[in-house]
Chain A
Amino acid sequence: MKEQKKIPVGKVKRAAKFIKTGTKVGANYAGYYIKKTVSKQNKEDLDKKNAEDIYSAFSELKGSALKVAQVLSMDTNVLPKEYSEQFALAQYSAPPLSYPLVKNTVFKTVGKTPDQLFDEFGKSAVNAASIGQVHKARIGEYQYAVKVQYPGVAESIQSDLKIVLPIARRFLKLSKKEIEKYAKEIESKLLEEANYELELERSNWITSQCADLEGTIFPKYYQELSSKRVLTMDWIEGIHLKEFMEQKSGTEEANLIGQRLWDFYVFQIQKLKMVHADPHPGNFLITNKNELGVIDFGCVKELPEDFYRDYFLLFEAIRTNQMDQIESIMERLEFFLETDKKEDREKVQKIFVDLLSLVMKPFQEDYFDFSDEAFFKQIYAYGEELSQDKEVRNMGSARGSKHFIYMNRTLFGLFNILHVLKAKKIKTSGFAAIIEELPKKSA
C-alpha cells in the first residue's frame, strides 16, 4: 500500500456504498435494542453546531474511539448521515505507520528486527485496518502477512471510551446506567481486539475446528514471529472480498462464495458457540480457486449457552406462534423492564415478534434469495416506522441482553455481504437441526 496522504475518492465511494447499505438495514434494527428511539423532531432539534463539534472530536481520535464511534453511529438516525459515513470509512484513511516505527514495534515486542526475522520484509504496508496495518514478508519460499498494531491502541481504549460515551449518551438520551452494560461489552471486545496474543490463540482454535469446511481456508499463525502487538500468519494470495463484490456480484461464483460465508457462520454459531463477529469485507480474501480465505479473528464473540439457547428458542417460539413461550424467553433476554405496564409489555412483545419474524426468514427456508431488495427494504421500513411511533418513543429505554450487540452485528453483517454479492440461491436450511441440538437449560 502506498503511504497515502489522501483517500482515493473512487475507493471511498465504493466502500461508502457498501457500508451505507449495511448500516441502514442492519443498524436501524440492531440499534433499536440499545437506545431510545430518537424522534424526527428530536433529530431536527439537534443543534447542527453541536453535531459538528462532536464530529471534530471523534475525528481527532483513532483506533478504539473510532471503533466505538463506528459501533454507536451505525444508526444513521443518530448522527447526520454524512458523519456516520465518515466514521464507518475512517478505518480506510488511518495514516500508515512509518517503517522505523514498524521496525521498532517488532523489535520491542518480538525481540528481533524484521530484517533479523525475515529474509525480506516489505517496508510499506499492503493493507490498513482501524488498529493496525499489514506488511508482506518472506522466509525462503514462504510468504507471510505480518500485522503490526498502531502504538498506544490498547492504552487508549479506556480513556477514549470516557470521551466517546458521554457524547454518545447525550445523543442517544440514555442514562449512565442504561448505557453501561452495553459500553462494558464494547470495551471488553475492543480490549480483546487489541490483544494479538489472544487473537492468535483464538484463530488457531477456530481454524482447527473449521478445518473440514469445504472451500474455506485459514492462514496458519506463528507464535514465534508474533507478540501482543505483532501477528504473523501465512500470506494468502487472493483478492479482497470488496473487490470481488465489485467484479463478480450476481454471478454463480458470487453465489458460491456467499454459500461458503453462510456455512462458515452457521457452523461457528451452531457448533462452536464462538463467532467471528466482524463480517467486514476487508476480513476476507477470495483465491483464484474461489476459496474463501478468512484472515482476521480480532473480534470474536463467545455466545453464552443460555443466550444462544434463548435466542433460537425465541425464533422457534415465534415460528410456532407460542405466545406464552415468547413472553418468558423475552423476559430472560432482558427485553422487559420492571417499570413496564401490561400494555408496555404487549407493545414491546409485538414489536420484537414482528421484527424477529423478518430476521429469521432466511433461516426458515431451504434456499434464500439475498438479492431480494424487498426483504431488506421491509426490515429497513419497519425500523423507520418504529422510529416514528409515538408510543414506542414514550416507552423508550435500553432493552435487550448485551449479547445482542455483537450477535446482531454478525448476522446483519453477513446478510449485507450476501445482499451486496447478490447471492440468489443460498442453501439456508438447517434451522431444524439448530433447534434439535439446542443445549438443555442449565439448572
Chain B
Amino acid sequence: MKKKELQAKLANRLKEYLEKEKQLPKSSKDLLKGKETGKTYASVESEPKRLFEHIMESYIIETLSVLEEDENYAEMSVREKLLSFYFVFVNQIKEDEEFLKVVFSPRQFQLMKHVKNAMRPPFVEFIDQIVQEGIINEEIKSRMALDKVYSMTLEKDLIIVLKFWLKDQSEDKAKTDELIERLVHLEMNALGPNFMDDLLGIGKMMLENSPMSKYMSR
C-alpha cells in the first residue's frame, strides 16, 4: 500500500475513533485493528497530531480540486470564487461533523489551535491568489501598505464559517449558506473600491493643503 493510502486509511480510523469515543486516542496504537502492529503503518507518520494535520489539510486541498474541475470556475469573479470555495468546503466536511465537533470542542483548545494551523498553508495560498487576481481585475482596491493585511482578513473567515457550521441547527444548514453569502459580500465590499477611498483622498488633500504640508515635504 502506498504511503498516501496508508495515511488516508489511518486518518479514517482516527475519525471513526473520535466519533465513537468522543475523545482523543492516547496513542496511535489505539487505532490499530486485528493483527495490525505499529509496523503496518511504519512508513507513515502515525502520530495522531500528524494525522489531524493530514485530515484538515485534505479538506482544503479537496475543495480546491473540486473547484478546479468546475469548467465555469475560471470565468468566475473573485467574489464568486470565494463564495464557491466556502459552499464546496462545507459540502466536503459534512460527513465529518461528529469528528469536527470533538476537534473543535472547547476542551481541545491545543488541538484546535494545531488543526487551524494545519489548514493554513493551502488556504493562504488560495487566498493570496484570489487577492492578487482581485487587484488585477479591480474587484479589490490596491491600497498600498494595506494590501498585506487583506489575506489575513480573509483567512479568518474560514474558521468563522467552520465554527458557525458546527453549531448550525437549521435544516440543510441553510443558515451557514446565509452566513457565507453575507460574510463574503461584507469582505468584498470592504476590500473593493468604496467610500473609504474617497475619505482617504479627502484626508490626503486636506493634509497637502494645510500648513503642515511644508514639514511633510522636507
Interface size class of A (residues with CB under 8 A): 20 to 34
Contact with B along A117-132 (1 / 0, CB 8 A): 0000000000000000
Q: Contact at B175–A98, with CB atoms within 8 Å?
A: no
Q: Mark A137-152, 1 if CB is under 8 A from B, else 0.
A: 0000000000000111
B67-81: which have CB < 8 Å to A?
72, 76, 79-80
Please provide the chain A residues from 213 to 239 with a CB less than 8 Å away from any CB of chain B in the complex: 228-229
Across-interface contacts of A303 in B (CB, < 8 A): none
B174 touches A229 (CB 8 A): yes
Q: Give the contact-size bracket for chain B.
A: 10 to 19
Contact, CB under 8 Å: B83 / A101 = yes
Q: Does B180 contact A (CB under 8 A)?
A: yes
Q: A100-B87, A108-B172, A109-B172 are in contact. Are A151 and B177 (CB under 8 A)?
A: yes
Say how far A40's CB is from chain B's closest CB, in angstroms: 41
User: CB distance A97 to B181 under 8 Å?
Assistant: yes
Q: Is B5 an interface residue (CB 8 A)?
A: no
Please tell me if the beta carbons of A152 and B175 are within 8 angstroms of each other in the complex.
yes
Q: How many whole Å from A228's CB to the nearest CB in chain B?
A: 8
- A319 to B122 CA separation, bound complex (whole angstroms): 78
- The answer to whether B174 and A101 touch across the interface, beta carbons within 8 angstroms, is no
A98 engages B177 (CB within 8 Å): no
Contact, CB under 8 Å: A155 / B83: no
User: Are A151 and B175 within 8 A (Cβ)?
Assistant: yes
Taking CB atoms, residues of chain A closer than 8 Å to B171 are 154-155, 228
Q: Are B172 and A101 neighbours in the complex by a CB distance under 8 Å? A: no
Complex Cα gap A154–B177 (Å): 13
Chain B 163-188 near chain A by CB (<8 Å), digits 1 or 0: 00000001110110110110011000
In the bound complex, residues from chain B placing their C-beta under 8 Å from that of A151 are 174-175, 177-178, 181
Contact B181 A98 (CB under 8 A): yes
User: Is there an interface contact between A152 and B177, defined as CB atoms closer than 8 Å?
Assistant: yes
> Which of A100, A107, A152 interacts with B178 by CB under 8 Å?
A152
Partner of B80, one of A95, A98, A228: A98
Interface presence of B12 (CB below 8 A) = no
Apart from A105-B177, A151-B178, what 5 extra A-B contacts exist at CB < 8 Å?
Answer: A101-B181, A107-B91, A108-B91, A115-B72, A152-B175
Q: Are A155 and B170 in contact (CB under 8 A)?
A: yes
Contact A100 B174 (CB under 8 A): no
Q: Check A101–B175 contact: CB distance below 8 A.
A: no
Q: Which residues of chain A from 59 to 115 have any CB-CB distance to chain B below 8 Å in the complex?
A: 95, 97-101, 103-105, 107-109, 115
Instruction: Find chain B residues with CB under 8 A from A154 CB.
Output: 171, 174
List residues of chain A with CB within 8 A of the CB of B76: 100
User: Which of A101, A103, A150 lies in contact with B180, CB distance below 8 A?
Assistant: A101
- Known contacts: A97-B181, A151-B175, A152-B175. The answer to whether A104 contacts B170 by CB under 8 A is no
B58 is an interface residue with CB less than 8 A from chain A: no
> Nearest Cβ in chain B — how far from A102, in angstroms?
10
User: Are B174 and A152 interface neighbours, CB within 8 A?
Assistant: yes
Residue of A nearest to B177 (CB): A151
Q: Is B84 interfacial (CB-CB < 8 Å)? A: yes
Query: For the complex, what is the distance from the CA of A248 to the CA of B116, rounded to whole Å?
Result: 62
Q: How far is the CB of A153 from chain B (nearest CB, A)?
A: 8
Residue numbers in B under 8 Å from A152 (CB-CB):
170, 174-175, 177-178
CB 8 Å contact bits of A224-259 with B (1 = contact, 0 = none): 000011000000000000000000000000000000
Q: Which chain A residues border B184 with CB–CB below 8 Å?
A: 98
The distance in angstroms between the C-alpha atoms of A99 and B84, with both chains bound, is: 9
Question: Mask for A286-330, Cβ within 8 A of B = 1, else 0?
Answer: 000000000000000000000000000000000000000000000
**Which A-B residue pairs are the 5 nearest by beta carbons?**
A100-B83, A151-B177, A104-B87, A151-B174, A155-B170
Closest to A5 in B: B189
Q: Are A155 and B80 CB-contacts (below 8 A) given A98-B181, A101-B180, A104-B87?
A: no
Q: List 29 A-B contacts (CB under 8 A).
A: A97-B181, A98-B79, A98-B83, A98-B181, A99-B80, A100-B80, A100-B84, A100-B87, A101-B87, A101-B177, A103-B87, A104-B87, A104-B91, A104-B177, A107-B91, A108-B91, A115-B72, A150-B178, A151-B177, A152-B170, A152-B175, A152-B178, A154-B171, A155-B170, A155-B171, A155-B174, A155-B175, A229-B172, A229-B174
Interface core residue of B72, B84, B91, B178 (most chain A CB under 10 Å): B178
Residues of A within 8 A of B83 (CB): 98, 100-101
Q: Collect the chain A residues with CB atoms within 8 Å of residue B185's CB.
A: 95, 98
* Closest CB in chain A relative to B185 CB, distance in Å: 8
- Chain B 78-113 interface mask (CB, 8 Å, partner A; 1/0): 011001100100010000000000000000000000
In the complex, A379→B178 CA distance in Å?
43
User: Inside 8 A of A108's CB, which chain B residues have their CB?
Assistant: 91, 172
Minimum Cβ distance to chain B for residue A331 (Å): 43
Contacts of A97 in B (CB 8 A): 181
* Chain B nearest CB, measured from A410 CB (Å): 30
Q: How far is the CA of A103 from the CA of B84 in the complex (A)?
A: 9
